[in-house]
């Protein structure tokens, strides 16, 4: 993208859970101008991924976390994001809006959205560099212990993330 649209980074992070790979995908300036913010941009991204045709519970299903262009601005209640996916109940593309620190953290990754596709072979936790470590089967463990094990596992890994 040659000239950045104000409030946007001009790309989203596409994470393929089947392969464990991730890559930034450039967004055209015209697209960002046509679909302002979370819900509209999220639906556009899902349609581009083929979500309309995919079974919502299959590996072809896609879910998008899309951040408002106002995230990080001094405006009150600007930390908004939309979660957009195809509903297994209605088979329609739906969105849910929320406001939290997740929107700020997501926008700080340098992306306007995070799009998940595919199916992970096991439960895993992604870190901000898109490296992953297994989520241990016992979810009743203390959160700090799980976070420490994950951090230790990622520190020992030789993953190269671009």
User: Six-digit token pair at 145?
Assistant: 């212990």
Q: Which CATH architecture has domain 11-121?
A: 4-Layer Sandwich (3.60)
Q: What's the CA gap between 51 and 46, in Å, rounded?
A: 5
Please report which helix (H) or strand (E) contains residue 16, including its range. Answer: strand 11-16
Give residue 103's pLDDT. 84
What's phi and psi for 145, nearest 5 deg? -65, -45
162 neighbors 130 (Cβ within 8 angstroms): no
What are the sequence ranges of the domains in the chain?
11-121, 122-162
Look-up of token digits 């203390």: 142
Instruction: Give residue 1's pLDDT band: very low, low, confident or very high (50, 70, 90).
Output: very low
Q: Which of 28, 26, 25 is nearest to 15 (CA)?
A: 25
pLDDT tens digits for range 9-50: 889 999 998 888 889 999 988 888 888 778 899 999 999 999
Distance between CA 53 and CA 91 in Å, rounded? 10
**pTM of the predicted structure, to 2 decimals:** 0.73
Average pLDDT, integer, range 91-116 = 87
d(C-alpha 23, C-alpha 11), whole Å: 10
DSSP 4: P
């Amino acid at each position: 993208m040659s000239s950045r649209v104000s409030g946007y980074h001009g790309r989203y992070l596409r994470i393929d859970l089947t392969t464990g790979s991730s890559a930034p995908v450039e967004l055209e300036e015209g697209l960002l101008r046509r679909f302002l913010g979370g819900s509209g941009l999220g639906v556009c991204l899902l349609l581009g991924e083929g979500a309309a045709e995919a079974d919502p519970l299959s590996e072809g299903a896609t879910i998008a976390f899309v951040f408002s262009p106002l995230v990080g601005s001094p405006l009150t209640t600007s930390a908004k994001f939309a979660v957009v996916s195809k509903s297994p109940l209605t088979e329609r593309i739906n969105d849910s809006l929320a406001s939290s620190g997740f929107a700020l953290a997501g926008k700080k990754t340098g992306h306007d959205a995070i799009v998940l596709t595919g199916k992970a072979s096991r439960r895993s936790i992604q870190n901000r560099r898109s490296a992953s470590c297994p989520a241990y089967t016992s979810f009743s463990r203390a959160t700090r212990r799980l976070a420490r094990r994950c951090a230790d596992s990622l520190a020992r890994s030789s993953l190269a993330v671009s």
